[in-house]
Amino acid sequence: MAITYYMVQLPPLLLFILLTVLSGTLAGIITYLVRTYLEVKILRSHNEVTGFIFIAIAGFYALLLSFVVFVVWDELNETRTNVSNEGSSAMGLYRDIKYYPDTIASKQLTIVYLDFVYNVIDEEFPNMAIMKPSRRTPESLNRVFFEIEHLKPQTQIQTQLVAEMFRHLNQLVTYRGLRTMSIETEIPPPIWLPIILGAVITMIYAMLLDIEHTRMHIAINSLLGVFISMFIFIIIILDHPFTGSIGIKPKAYKEIFTLESWANEKHIKD
C-alpha cells in the first residue's frame, strides 16, 4: 500500500497546507544554504548555461506533471461514471423487484437484495477506502442471482419483469466489477520515482541560478517549491477516488434504503 494512501487520510485542506508549507520552507532553506556556501562567482560564470538548461528541464517536468494529472483525472472521471451507472442499475433492479406482481416472491427477493445493498454500503465501500476486497458482498450478490433464477413467472408481464431484472442485474455486476478493479489503478512506485526526482532536479537548477538579490532568490525558489507541491497534491487526491473525506460514496445504494423505509411507512399508514 503506497504512502500516498496514508496521506489522503488527512483532511484535504490540512494535507495541502502541509505539502506546500513543507516544500516551500525546504526550498527556501536549501537555497539560502547554497547562496551562503557556494561562491557567487561560480554561479555567475555559469548562469547563462544553467538558465538555459533550467528552462528545458522545467518545461519537460511541467509536461510530465501535466500528463500524470491528466491520466489520474481521466481515471477518476471513468470511475465516477461506472459508479453512477452501477447505482442506476441497482435502483432499476430494486424497482423491478418491488413491483413484481407475485407478492410473496417479491418480499423474499427484496430481503435478499437489501442484504446485498447493505453489504455494499456497510462493508464493500469502507473496504475499498482502505484498498481491500469485500468478502460478504459477492456472496450476497450470488444469492440475488439464485433467487431471480428460481422465480416462476406465470404471466407474460411477470416474464418480462424477470427478463428486466436479469438485464439490470447483469449491468450492475458489470459496473460493480469495473468499480472494484479501480482500487488497483493507483500510481505505482516506479512512476513516483521520476516525479519526485524531477522535482529535485528542477529545484537544484533553480538554486544554481545567479540572482543578485538573495532574498528574492529564496522567495522565488520557495514559490517554485510550493507550485510543484500543488501539482503533487492534486495527483495524490485524484489517485485515491474512494479514500478520504472527498472519496466516492454509495449514494444510489443509500437511496434504495431511503425508498424502502418510505415504502414501509406508507404501508403501515395504509
Name the DSSP letter for residue 246: T
List, in order, residues 6 or more apart from 222 with CB less than 8 Å away: 24, 25, 27, 28, 31
Average pLDDT over the chain, rounded to an integer: 85
244 vs 46, which has greater pLDDT?
Answer: 244
For residue range 206-247, list pLDDT tens digits in order. 887 777 788 888 999 999 999 999 999 998 888 888 887 778
For residue range 120-136, list pLDDT tens digits in order. 999 998 888 887 888 88
**pLDDT at residue 47 above 70?**
no
Q: How many helices (H) and strands (E) does the chain have?
A: 11, 0
What is the number of other CB atoms lying within 10 angstroms of the CB of residue 110? 17
269 vs 165, which has greater pLDDT?
Answer: 165
SS3 135: coil
Grid coordinates given for 174 = 458489470
pLDDT above 90 coverage of the chain, percent: 29
For residue range 73-89, list pLDDT tens digits in order. 888 888 899 999 999 99
CA neighbor of 227 nearest in space, from 16, 67, 71: 16
Res. 102 pLDDT band, cuts 50 70 90: confident
Distance CA 235, CA 238 (A): 5
Distance CA 204, CA 211 (A): 14
Grid coordinates given for 223 = 514559490
Distance CA 171, CA 90 (A): 9
pLDDT at position 21: 94
**pLDDT at residue 58 above 50?**
yes
Name the residue ranges covered by the structural domains of the chain. 3-269
**pLDDT at residue 266 above 60?**
no
pLDDT at position 268: 47
- The answer to whether 81 and 138 have CB atoms below 8 angstroms apart is no
Phi and psi at residue 37, to the nearest 5°: -105, -5
134-143, 196-205, 243-252: segment of lowest average pLDDT: 243-252
For helices 156-181 and 47-98, angle between their N-to-C axes, nearest 10 degrees: 160
pLDDT above 70 coverage of the chain, percent: 91
Distance CA 34, CA 160 (A): 76
What is the number of other CB atoms lying within 10 angstroms of the CB of residue 118? 16
Provide the greatest CA pair distance for the chain.
94
**pLDDT at residue 263 above 70?**
no
Phi and psi at residue 170, to the nearest 5°: -65, -40
For residue range 141-178, list pLDDT tens digits in order. 999 999 888 888 888 888 888 899 999 999 999 999 99
- The answer to whether 137 and 69 have CB atoms below 8 angstroms apart is no
pLDDT at position 153: 84
Grid coordinates given for 258 = 431511503
pLDDT at position 11: 84
